[in-house]
Amino acid sequence: MAAARGWVSPSVLPGFGLTLGFAGLFLSFIVLIPLAALIIRAGSLPLDEFWRIATEPRALASYRLTFGASLLAAGVNAVFGFIVAWTLVRYEFPGRRIVDAIIDLPFALPTAVSGIALATVFAPTGFLGAQLERLGVQVAFTWVGVVIALTLIGLPFVVRSVQPALEEVDVSLEEAAESLGASRWMVFRRVILPTVLPALATGFTLALARAIGEYGSVIFIAGNLPMRTEITPLLIVIKLEQYDYLGAAALGLVMLCVSFVMLLSINAINGWRMRRMAGRR
């Protein structure tokens, strides 16, 4: 009986053992054991060997590009995604509902599709690439292209985090501030921004986490030049193609650790938001 087990509250509902057992088993076989295999495989390397692989110049260059471009893209999204969310929540304009619906497109679009689409549009001969070329900006096969691809896939995370928070901003607070003589900009900075900031932080972190692991939408536009436009996931793929399993596992472990850190940060930010919300009530 469920009541006999100390760690589960008694319930009249059936199926606890069956569903939890099945879910746990499935989770172990598909997710946990394979990920553990990566950790054990990379962990079997002697420490100095692991360190040598993880810090060779080509790997370091790939970290720089992956993290730098991801941070930049999440930053671009924090600014422009905020503006998009603001216009969607606060203004009425023709086509608003359609714009609102297509924000989720990067979620639903396979990454290879956005990858080849961006690479073609931003190629030096492409629709937007040719215009930018005339301005002296080269996008394809440079780090700028990587940032654009990562901005595309991160966009919905920021907009969808900020939108509900903006909708919940207490209008009476804004009115109070205005009746006390605050300018519109001051109201924005002192009333609106502080309320929305935690949601913006969540969106930024989610976009960053997604960007760091991204592969499909980047490799087409990046050109993949070693030391210059090669992201870390691509370097892993290259090592695998050379049957360098241990090298791939070592880099994989580095990325997995970063993912864990990102996951913890997201949980920490959510906890902070909960506490803030609880404190306000």
Partner 1 sequence: MAAAGHAVRKQESALVRALLIGVSVVFLGAILIVPVLSVLGYAFSEGFDVYLRALRAPDTIAAIRLTLTTAAIVVPLNTIFGVAAAWAIAKFDFRGKQVLITLIDLPFSVSPVIAGLVFVLLFGAQGWFGPLLRDWGIQVVFALPGIVLATMLVTFPYVARELIPIMQLQGKEAEEAAVSLGAGGWMTFFRVTLPSIRWGLLYGVILCNARAMGEFGAVAVVSGHIRGLTTTMPLQAQVLYDEYDLVGAFAVASLLMLLGLLTLLVKTIVEALGARRRRA
Q: Which of residues 112-151 bind partner 1 (CB under 8 A)?
A: 112-121, 126-128, 148, 151
- Least distance between partner 1 and beta carbon 52 (Å): 20
Task: Show the site string, 19-48: x = touches partner 1 by CB under 8 A, - = not.
Answer: xx-xxx-xx--xxx-xx-xx--x-------
Which one, 52 or 224, has the nearer CB to partner 1?
224
Which one, 118 or 199, has the nearer CB to partner 1?
118
Asked if 243 touches partner 1 (CB under 8 A), the answer is yes
Q: Which stretch binds partner 1 (CB under 8 A): 56-64, 105-113, 189-197, 270-278?
A: 105-113
Asked if 277 touches partner 1 (CB under 8 A), the answer is no
Answer for which of 267, 268, 272, 274 binds partner 1 (CB under 8 A) is 267
Q: Which stretch binds partner 1 (CB under 8 A): 46-54, 55-63, 191-199, 262-270?
A: 262-270
CA atoms within 13 A on the CB side of 119: 16
Closest CA to 224 of 89, 115, 137, 151: 115
Tokens matching residue 89:
């929540």
**DSSP characters for 20-43?**
HHHHHHHHIIIIIHHHHHHHHHHH
Number of residues that bind partner 1 (CB under 8 A): 93
Which one, 56 or 174, has the nearer CB to partner 1?
174
DSSP 229: S
Distance CA 169, CA 172 (A): 9
Answer for which of 60, 99, 130, 193 binds partner 1 (CB under 8 A) is 99
Q: Is the dihedral of CA 86, 188, 148, 239 positive or negative?
A: negative
Tokens matching residue 25:
């088993």
Answer for which of 65, 152, 162, 166 binds partner 1 (CB under 8 A) is 152
Q: Between the CA of residue 207 and those of 105, 160, 189, what are the distances in Å?
A: 15, 11, 24
Distance CA 3, CA 11 (A): 8
Which parts of 175-194 interact with partner 1 (CB under 8 A)?
175, 178-179, 184
Q: Which stretch binds partner 1 (CB under 8 A): 45-53, 55-63, 189-197, 233-241?
A: 233-241
Task: Show the site string, 196-225: x = touches partner 1 by CB under 8 A, - = not.
Answer: -------------x--xxxxx---x-----
**DSSP characters for 84-127?**
HHHHHHH---TTHHHHHHHTTHHHHS-HHHHHHHHHHHTSTTST
